[in-house]
Amino acid sequence: LRRDLARIVGDEFALEGNTQNRRFAHDMSDRSGLRGRADAVVFPANTEQVAAVVAWSYSRGVPVIPRGGGTGYTGGSTPIHGGVIIALERLCAVHAFDPLLWRMHVGCAVTTARVQRLARENGLYFPVDPGAAEESQIGGNVATNAGGPHCFKYGTMRAWITGLTAVLPPGDIASFGGPVRKDVSGYDLIGLMSGSEGTLGVITDVWLRLIPRPVTSRPVCAVVPDAAACQQAIHLVLASGVVPAAIEYLDAATMKEVGAGFPGGHLPGSGFLVIAEVDSCSNDADALIEALGSDSLTPDPRDLWRWRDGVSHAMTARLGRKISEDVVVPLDRFAEAVDRTLELGFQHQVEACSWGHAGDGNLHSTFLFSPDRPDEARRAHAAAEAMLEVAVEMGGTISGEHGVGILKAGHLRNQWNAAAVQAHEAIKATLDPKNLMNPGKKRP
Ligand SMILES: Cc1cc2nc3c(=O)[nH]c(=O)nc-3n(C[C@H](O)[C@H](O)[C@H](O)COP(=O)(O)OP(=O)(O)OC[C@H]3O[C@@H](n4cnc5c(N)ncnc54)[C@H](O)[C@@H]3O)c2cc1C
């Protein structure tokens, strides 16, 4: 298998699966213990080589697993059924950047942070900001329809794509959209590829839309006693009339662990932290301060978001492992979902906490465990599974940003009705009739 693939990509760019490359056996969900085994890993240089690898694999019934930065939280790029990992890291060229036209055309392996930096250095802004931006790739961001704190105002990855190229089974190169800012001529196939998690094809390049950089960014932070007060604070922020760029929260258990590093000065009391940020017009911050109370803090935005990006790692470090869900509930049930997270932790006798994108009703419900205690790991997983059911019960969704991957496969069936599930399956069967594109992932 490796020898055949080496003829396509070159000898040094085709490796044997696990023996040579253990890092490809998992993504960031290995914190919850998930690992797989690939038969080979290839590093194609361009779209044509990706197409040739897919064609070779498809004609022989070999599974294909596209891999971006490997920062996913659901085992999406974990090779659970063996097969060929297409590691896309060599497709990392910026093909075109037209600052005056607010657009960029990039290879799928350009990192999120590189796009953000290039945009910033040219007075522009790319608002998609998932927490592992230095490693995650634009192709992976499309494949998971990634978000981050600022998608409250700016939307998830789909909103920032005007075109893309993808290799579809059995090895065809398809282009949807392009540099045009509007295109309603066909079905929204860019939307279909967004969040497809490698199960429909391999995205190889992307046309991105950018906007001018906001003139100011001002986060306003307040401490509130509990989940109900946190929900009330969100309501007050929404009622203030400004459109915040982000509304985030960290619950009391999370703050207990990471609060000491808060970069915005002395916190008035302990409890939940609510962060609301406005960009563009500084007067708007005054409205947020009024909404969140006069003892609100206004840290430097760069320090604040750097601290906030570290929360996930800090909580993992507490016991060594964690499983973090990314459920979304309707905003009016937010406090209930935060409390249910703690209740599930209590029921399953594991430490629980949550933080996340409060304005979107998007919780990272988290259950901690130690790698040395298999029983605790089982209980943490059971609590996380139960949280998915809670979200569906509340009229929410099992995933607001990380996708389904392998860890949540099977749960969409509880959330959608039979006809919706059938439409989902029909799309998969039409585009990937042999079920070889990242098999086992994102299945209802
Ligand atoms: C600390 C931390 C914080 C995070 N915070 C956020 C957050 O705030 N918001 C958020 O949305 N996510 C977040 N994530 C999750 C993760 O960073 C995102 O899902 C990211 O978009 C994954 O990109 P990646 O390049 O690492 O993809 P991978 O992990 O390599 O792959 C993810 C999925 O996409 C598929 N895929 C990857 N590249 C391609 C391609 N070119 N073509 C087709 N399929 C492909 C893979 O098969 C897999 O199914 C966080 C992760 C970490 C570790």
Q: What is the pLDDT of residues 73-125, one digit of tens each?
A: 999 999 998 999 999 999 999 999 999 999 999 999 999 999 999 999 999 99
The three-state secondary structure class of 68 is coil
CA 289–ligand 1 middle distance (angstroms): 34
Mutational test site, ligand 1, from 144, 275, 316, max ligand atoms within 8 Å of CB? 144
| Separation between Cα atoms, residue 41 and residue 87, nearest integer Å | 7
Which pTM does this prediction carry? 0.95
Q: How far is CA 284 from the centre of its chain?
A: 29
Residues 329, 365: contact at Cβ < 8 Å?
A: no
**Does the C-beta of 399 come closer than 6 Å to ligand 1?**
no
CA 67–ligand 1 middle distance (angstroms): 9
| Residue 219 CA: distances (Å) to CA of 131, 303, 346, 435 | 17, 11, 33, 46
List the one residue out of 145, 93, 11 whose CA is nearest residue 442: 145
CA 225–ligand 1 middle distance (angstroms): 33
The three-state secondary structure class of 437 is strand
Residues 9, 43: contact at Cβ < 8 Å?
A: yes
**Does the C-beta of 312 come closer than 6 Å to ligand 1?**
yes
Longest Cα–Cα distance in the chain? 67
Residues 144, 195: contact at Cβ < 8 Å?
A: yes
List the one residue out of 57, 67, 56, 58 whose CA is nearest residue 24: 67
Mutational test site, ligand 1, from 67, 78, 80, max ligand atoms within 8 Å of CB? 67
Q: Give helix 311-319 / helix 301-309 axis angle, nearest 10°.
A: 30
CA 145–ligand 1 middle distance (angstroms): 9
Q: Enter the DSSP assignment of 69.
A: S
Structure tokens at 182: 């509007």
**Does the C-beta of 139 come closer than 6 Å to ligand 1?**
yes
List the one residue out of 236, 413, 247, 398 whose CA is nearest residue 326: 398
CA-nearest residue for atom 4, ligand 1, is 131
Q: What is the pLDDT along the chain (444 residues), one digit of tens a residue?
A: 999 999 999 999 999 886 556 788 889 887 667 889 899 999 999 999 999 999 999 999 999 999 999 999 999 999 998 999 999 999 999 999 999 999 999 999 999 999 999 999 999 999 999 999 999 999 999 999 999 999 999 999 999 999 999 999 999 999 999 999 999 999 999 999 999 999 999 999 999 999 999 988 999 999 999 999 999 999 999 999 999 999 999 999 999 999 999 998 889 889 999 999 999 877 788 889 999 998 999 999 999 999 999 999 999 999 999 999 999 999 999 999 999 999 999 999 999 999 999 999 999 999 999 999 999 999 999 999 999 999 999 999 999 999 999 999 999 999 999 999 999 999 999 999 999 999 999 989
Q: How far is CA 173 from the centre of its chain?
A: 26
Digit-coded pLDDT (tens) for 237-260: 999 999 999 999 999 999 999 999
List the one residue out of 349, 351, 353 whose CA is nearest residue 338: 353
**Does the C-beta of 169 come closer than 6 Å to ligand 1?**
no
Q: Give helix 283-292 / helix 227-239 axis angle, nearest 10°.
A: 150
How many helices (H) and strands (E) the chain has is answered by: 15, 17
The helix, strand and coil proportions of the chain, stated in percent and rounded to the nearest 5, come to: 40, 20, 40
Helix (H) or strand (E) holding 391, with range, is: helix 374-393
**Does the C-beta of 326 come closer than 6 Å to ligand 1?**
no
**List of long-range contacts for 176-180, beta carbons under 8 Å, 24+ apart:** 177/207, 178/207, 179/101, 179/103, 179/105, 179/207
Structure tokens at 356: 């996340």
| Residue 158 CA: distances (Å) to CA of 28, 48, 102 | 23, 25, 16
Which atom of ligand 1 is nearest to 441's Cα? 49
Which atom of ligand 1 is nearest to 138's Cα? 25
Half-sphere exposure of 353 (CA within 13 A, CB side): 25
CA 141–ligand 1 middle distance (angstroms): 6
Integer-rounded Cα Rg, in Å, for the chain is 22
Residues 297, 265: contact at Cβ < 8 Å?
A: yes
**Does the C-beta of 143 come closer than 6 Å to ligand 1?**
yes
| Residue 296 CA: distances (Å) to CA of 90, 222, 287 | 46, 5, 12
**List of long-range contacts for 14-23, beta carbons under 8 Å, 24+ apart:** 14/40, 14/41, 14/42, 14/43, 15/40, 15/41, 15/42, 16/40, 16/41, 17/41, 17/79, 17/82, 17/85, 23/70
Q: What is the structure's pLDDT at 32?
A: 63
| Separation between Cα atoms, residue 111 and residue 120, nearest integer Å | 14
